[in-house]
Amino acid sequence: MSVPESAQTHQVERAQLAAATALAVRAVWQGVDPENLEASWAGRAPLAAELIGRGQLAAAGSAEPWLTAEVGEGAAPVVPEAAVAATGDLFPALLSPLLIALSRIRHGLAVGLSILSGAAFLEMVTRTLIADAGRIADMAGMIARPRVVSYVRVVEAPACARCILLAGREYSFSEGFLRHPRCDCTMAAKRPGDTWVPALPEDLAAQMTAEQQQRTFGKDAAAALAEGADLAQLVNARRGMSTGTYYGRRVRTTSEGTTRRGLYGRRRSTYVKAAGMRFGEATKGRARTVAPRLMPEEIYRLADGDRAHAIRLLRKNGYIV
């Protein structure tokens, strides 16, 4: 079985709360007077702060009843206000959309578009603040329950590529919750003897439509995934992406996985050793192969519609394992 249904419901409801609050806060911002941004936002910002605060309290307040139903009473109840306070002062978050809009206007962008830029930021930060308040309360409630020994990351597809790659991972309470702006992932409590198995990254990717996979991983990475490429290799490759000239042409490559510890690097090391060749050169104390590791999109460009050749290149570059 996957994570408990209550944990999945908790994640969905928390995400819906963050989205609804962000929409309301965005509407407050977009009501500013284009002719007098600073004064009009000064008058409207307190309402935005109130909406964010309510959303944070609701998110943090949902932790205690959820955990009580899931694993029983804790040593002490979670205080939602304390979780909200731990997210920090709202002033910088409320000032930023104004500064963004004014900066865009100074650089020549139309006032309407500048206001939209501020709205996008405010929506993002609102969702993040609400999710953070909820996650802080969740973790505090789990720590207050000795039966809970760890937590598992709950990810709802579609999500960003990095979050999908972390789906189902188990963490101790000494490890912080990895998140990015607008991240709506939550956690499930894990106790000794629990037999449920969380959804893994590959499970979530399989649940996504072709369009969702393309939006999340990129068109060519999604195609490589359909050919049997390893999800972790595809996602991690983007961290070291660059463009360089090799063999007389410009190609997109990645440095990820090119040391002897990486999958591609291990394969390359075995090959060059057998051929009596030099593996690579030292970069920051680690030897990296001199042979470029192609990005999936470069592989499909070079294959030019030849599926068999694309698969060979995916395997050669360590994406199909």
What is the tens place of the pLDDT at every residue in 115-137? 999 999 999 999 999 999 999 99
pTM over cut 0.85: no
Residue 79 confidence (pLDDT) above 50: yes
Q: Are 25 and 47 in contact (CB under 8 A)?
A: no
Q: Are 84 and 59 in contact (CB under 8 A)?
A: no
Residue 321 confidence (pLDDT) above 80: no
Domain match, 183 and 245 both? no
pLDDT of residue 309: 85
Give residue 90's pLDDT band: very low, low, confident or very high (50, 70, 90): very high
Domain match, 168 and 42 both? yes
Mean pLDDT of the chain: 85
Residue 91 confidence (pLDDT) above 70: yes
The lowest-confidence range among 141-155, 202-216, 261-275 is 261-275
Domain match, 261 and 191 both? no
Give the pLDDT confidence of 239-297 residue by residue, as tens digits.
Answer: 766 777 766 677 777 776 666 555 566 655 554 454 444 444 444 444 445 567 787 77
The lowest-confidence range among 92-96, 164-168, 252-256, 307-311 is 252-256
Cis peptide before 158 (omega within 30 of 0): yes
**Which tokens belong to 183?**
């991240």
Residue 197 lies inside a defined structural domain of this protein:
yes
Considering the chain, what percentage of its residues have pLDDT values greater than 70?
Answer: 87
| Alpha-carbon gap, residue 102 to 82, rounded angstroms | 34
Residue 155 confidence (pLDDT) above 60: yes
Domain match, 105 and 179 both? yes
**Which tokens belong to 28?**
């407050």
Considering just the CA atoms, what is the radius of gyration of the chain in Å? 24
Question: Which residue type does 230 have?
Answer: D
The answer for residues whose C-beta is within 8 angstroms of residue 13's C-beta and 6 or more apart is 62
Residue 192 lies inside a defined structural domain of this protein:
yes
Residue 321 lies inside a defined structural domain of this protein:
no
Domain match, 273 and 219 both? yes
Residue 98 confidence (pLDDT) above 50: yes
pLDDT of residue 296: 78
Domain match, 264 and 186 both? no
pLDDT of residue 1: 47
pLDDT of residue 268: 59
Domain match, 10 and 85 both? yes
Domain match, 89 and 190 both? yes
As for how many domains the chain has, the answer is: 2
Question: Domain end: 175, 202, 229, which one?
Answer: 202
Question: Domain end: 135, 170, 202, which one?
Answer: 202
pLDDT of residue 266: 63
For 70, 155, 248, the CA distances from 8, given in Å and listed in that order, are: 12, 8, 51
Question: What order do you get walking across the sheet with 150-154 strand by strand?
Answer: 170-171, 150-154, 186-190
Question: Domain end: 148, 170, 202, which one?
Answer: 202
Domain match, 125 and 248 both? no
pLDDT of residue 16: 96
Within 34-163, strands assigned E span 150-154
E strand or H helix that includes residue 186: strand 186-190
Residue 226 lies inside a defined structural domain of this protein:
yes
Domain match, 180 and 250 both? no
**Length of the chain, please?**
321
**Residue whose C-alpha is closest to residue 311's, from 300, 257, 219, 202:** 300
Question: Which residue type does 195 have?
Answer: T
What number is the average pLDDT over the span 224-230? Answer: 88
pLDDT of residue 287: 47
**Residue whose C-alpha is closest to residue 245's, from 292, 281, 280:** 292
Question: Which residue type does 199 have?
Answer: A
Residue 29 lies inside a defined structural domain of this protein:
yes
Residue 306, classed as helix, strand or coil, is coil
Domain match, 294 and 179 both? no
What number is the average pLDDT over the span 73-101? Answer: 94
The lowest-confidence range among 34-38, 66-70, 198-202 is 198-202
Question: What order do you get walking across the sheet with 293-294 strand by strand?
Answer: 241-246, 249-254, 293-294
Residue 117 domain boundaries: 5-202
Domain match, 73 and 171 both? yes
pLDDT of residue 180: 84
